[in-house]
Amino acid sequence: MKAIDLFAGCGGLSLGFLQAGYSIDRAVEYDPVIANTYQKNHPEVKVIVDDIKNIDAAGTFKLGDADVIIGGPPCQGFSMAGARIRHGFIDDPRNYLSKHYFNVVRTVKPKAFVMENVKGMQNMQGGKIFKEILNIFSDPKMNDGVPYTLYHRVIKAVEFGVPQKRERLIIVGTTIPGVLFDWLWNETCADITNEYPSYFSPVCVRDAIGNLPPVTEDGVIDNPAPQNDYQRFLSCNRDTLTNHTQSHHSKKAVERMQKIGGGQNYTKLDEEINSVHSGSYGRLFWDEPAATITTRFDTPAGGRFIHPEEDRTLSPREAARIQSFPDEFVFYGARREISRQIGNAVPPKVSYFLARFVQKILEQDK
């Protein structure tokens, strides 16, 4: 089965589909630094480095190019929709990313597509935006007579054996009639459990990063022996791992972190902290899942990202482990660029499940 990944990022969503046996025909990513990470980890995929509006206008994709289209338009397109939707969400120029995603789906007409986004998208503008998105894909007139039936669900990463409290909205559209969504979802869970018995088992921070040695200046470490099922699932045969380096915190930031105990945050400091994050200067617990890994996991004020014991934020390798990236995956770019790549990615364990689930849907067409 062939798939196209729009808004590919570093490749978290693609990775699960590749692991499930799909071929990614092409991936679209407008940021050249992020595209470089994708390309080096997936050299077999043709990566198109361009804005999706240019790709749409150029007619890059054609009817039948893929069985499945995956990708989530950045949530800024939804959150910036504004109070008025007089001319329709899809025609608002601020939401061009979503419009061009729709145009590519309408052009290629895959049997299924998968959209991932923030769970709050359902309630933006009183639910009007979400309702319009559903209508756009299900309207036969807007889809050249080939409408999609849409299903949606808010999923929690912890329920897929990922050690973080990440919640996301998943929308699956298909042209295949009569899909028993919940039944196929449960069947997919059962199939994966038969193959990987601990796949959906709860995982904590210790399970994810407990075997990693101290950080190094260049981020290169000897490949540690896995100590549990989660670590074994992500392990590789390489002699060394990369990206295990820490941010260089100011003396003041380190002094603040020294005052924070497990599960505590900035409220334990005798000073005013200027941060919009309620978990600012939060320290992780070893034996609980992490908070959602965001693009600011390398910044103490960015959330609950302080190491359970050390006075530093998570390293990129630790954040990648918590996101369920395999150890062999290498992130390229400057520190802030790498943080963006990891924080914006779909956890590969989640994307693998979605890939297997979509396989179940496509099999209904046989």
Q: Catalytic positions, please?
A: 75
Q: Is 313 left (phi over 0), alpha (psi -120 to 50) or beta?
A: beta
**Cβ-based neighbour number of residue 255 at 10 Å:** 12
**Cβ-based neighbour number of residue 276 at 10 Å:** 8
* Rounded (5°) CA angle 243-245-248: 140
Per-residue 3-state assignment (H helix, E strand, C coil) for the chain: CEEEECCCCCCHHHHHHHHCCCEEEEEECCCHHHHHHHHHHCCCCEEECCCHHHHHHHCCCCCCCCCEEECCCCCHHHHCCCCCCCCCHHHCHHHHHHHHHHHHHHHHCCCEEEEEEEHHHHCHHHHHHHHHHHHHHHCHHHHCCCCCEEEEEEEEHHHHCCCECCEEEEEEEECCCCCCHHHHHHHHHHHHHHHCCCCCCCCCHHHHHCCCCCCCCCCCEECCCCCCHHHHHHCCCCCEECCCCCCCCCHHHHHHHHCCCCCCCHHHCCCCCCCCCCCCCCECCCCCCECCCCCCCCCHHHCCCECCCCCCECCHHHHHHHCCCCCCCCCCCCHHHHHHHHHHCCCHHHHHHHHHHHHHHHHCCC
Task: Report whether 309 contacts 260 (CB < 8 A).
Answer: no
For residues 320 and 219, give the distance between their C-alpha atoms in angstroms, rounded to a whole number.
13
